[in-house]
Amino acid sequence: MSIFRLLASRILFSALTLLLVSILIFLILEALPGDVATRILGREATAKALEVLRSQLHLDQPALVRYFQWLGDFLRGDLGTSIATGRPIADVLGPRIVNTLLLSLFAFAIYLVLALIPAIIQAVNRGKMIDNVISVITLLLLSLPDFLLATILLFLFAVAVPILPALATISENSTWQEMLRAMVLPAVTLAIMMAVYAIRVLRDSLIEVLRSDYVRLAELKGLRPRAVLFRHALPNAIVPALNVTALNLGFLIGGVVIVERVFSYPGFGTLLIDALQLRDIPLIKATVMISAAVYVAANLAADVLAVLLQPRLRISR
């Protein structure tokens, strides 16, 4: 019973958070002092252009009315119309989200490998040379801005040794091999950026678990080291890393903005930048809302998973 109440309250809080996000975004973009239309078009804009934009954004109505109208439409699935292109936002967003989802899945698969393998090597050889070497490498990578890492990889594998395309431009009629090749560099960049955070946490929690009584017991029972590691230690060590992974998903949403930009990948991130550059307020609101929703959902999922994976947490919370 209590576990259901816990989950219900978490879901309720997530919904409340998203409601607050919508208020914040609206306040920042539309309710700041000063004329919204002038801020979008600049001071040189003609009176006529300003008038058209004001009517497009329904600026003649009070802010409170506009907010609830937007929220109501959003909840019913009507994301509004993009100012810059005049197309319904849902149509613009759809394919971009699919592209980013594909990229993220690809990146996530690489991330799992890049995070797990070094962490396991480190934990098993703790204090030895290889542990320190990997620590130094992760610290160096941690210090590398994502836009720089992307540029370095682009230089290495698209300019110096041209084996991969520099521009990840894909379209509806590219074959899946073309798409996969185009996605390698952006996906690897994202995966490395996420993995460097997880490796540290995973290593520390693995070391802690390897010292615990039940791992000792498993060793004393005479289980093979590999079985101890993969069957007993790893599943328990992954729980602390789950939160990092949820954080990482939050990072992934921010990271795609940069990485998609560097490789000109037609995804959600480039759409956000385009919307910002064109000051397409309805599109900005929709993209930011969706990215916040993804972040909140990821955290909710991590919480739920943590509860389900570790029985101890069910009681202590």
Partner 1 sequence: MTLATFISSRRFKVDLWRATPGPFKVGAVILVAHGLFAVLGFFWTPYGYAEMGAGLPLSGISWQHPMGLDQIGRDVFSRFMHGAHIVLLLSFAGTMLGMVTGTTLGLLSGYVGGWFDEITQRIVEAMISIPFLALALVMIIAAGPALAGAPVLIVFVVGLVYAPRITRIARAAAMEIATREYVAVAELRGEGTWSIVFREILPNAANVLLVEFSLRLSYAPILIGALGFLGFGIRPPTPEWGLMISENRNLLIASPVTVFGPGLGLASLVIGFNLFTDGLSRMLGQRPVAGA
Q: What are the residues binding partner 1 (CB under 8 A)? A: 13, 16-18, 20-21, 23-25, 28-29, 32, 34, 38-39, 42-43, 139-140, 142-148, 151-152, 154-155, 159, 197, 200-201, 243-244, 247, 250-251, 253-254, 257-258, 261, 272-273, 276-277, 279, 284, 287-288, 291-292, 295-296
Amino acid in the structure at residue 304: V
State the residue for tokens 């204090």.
127
Q: Smallest gap, in angstroms, from Cβ of residue 73 to partner 1?
A: 20
- CB of 8 or CB of 140, closer to partner 1: 140
- CB of 98 or CB of 152, closer to partner 1: 152
Cα(44)–Cα(138) distance, rounded to whole angstroms?
49
Question: Tokens at residue 70, please?
Answer: 């937007």
Q: Smallest gap, in angstroms, from Cβ of residue 175 to partner 1?
A: 28
Q: Smallest gap, in angstroms, from Cβ of residue 113 to partner 1?
A: 19
State the residue for tokens 């098993």.
124
- CB of 38 or CB of 81, closer to partner 1: 38
Q: Kind and range of the H or E element at 269?
A: helix 268-277
Exposed e or buried b per residue across 98-109, where buried means at least 16 C-beta atoms within 10 angstroms of its C-beta: ebbebbbebbbe
- CB of 29 or CB of 180, closer to partner 1: 29
Angle at 50 between CA 46 and CA 55, to 5 degrees: 150
- CB of 215 or CB of 240, closer to partner 1: 240
- CB of 218 or CB of 241, closer to partner 1: 241
Q: Smallest gap, in angstroms, from Cβ of residue 88 to partner 1?
A: 22
Q: Smallest gap, in angstroms, from Cβ of residue 298 to partner 1?
A: 10
Q: Smallest gap, in angstroms, from Cβ of residue 162 to partner 1?
A: 10
